[in-house]
Structure 1
């Protein structure tokens, strides 16, 4: 799951959009962006923990901002 490719932005098509539809697409884009960022941060933490374990060191807990 951590190495899955992130979903790209929503296709807006080539027709004018009503504000409600645009807002819904914006929310979908935002959810995709946040999901992608969380996965990448989790992957970074995984590798840091793994590498520290291989070196016989315990990693210091890292506080990640909640997004």
Structure 2
């Protein structure tokens, strides 16, 4: 793997991982109407998948780029 491609995959992995963590910890949607609070439960499945893809990209760029 060329050095440029390795750097691009590493940077993309870091960005994807950061985005996954951000979507995981952002606050849940909450709607208040008078005294009634309607809370929509947050589904974190997409965040977990994004985090795993980011970690895989970082691992791919660091382990498989060595020769």
Question: Which structure shows the bigger proportion of residues in helix conformation?
Answer: 2
**Structure ranking higher on relative contact order (CA contacts 8 Å, 6+ apart):** 2
TM-score, normalised relative to structure 1: 0.49
TM-score, normalised relative to structure 2: 0.49
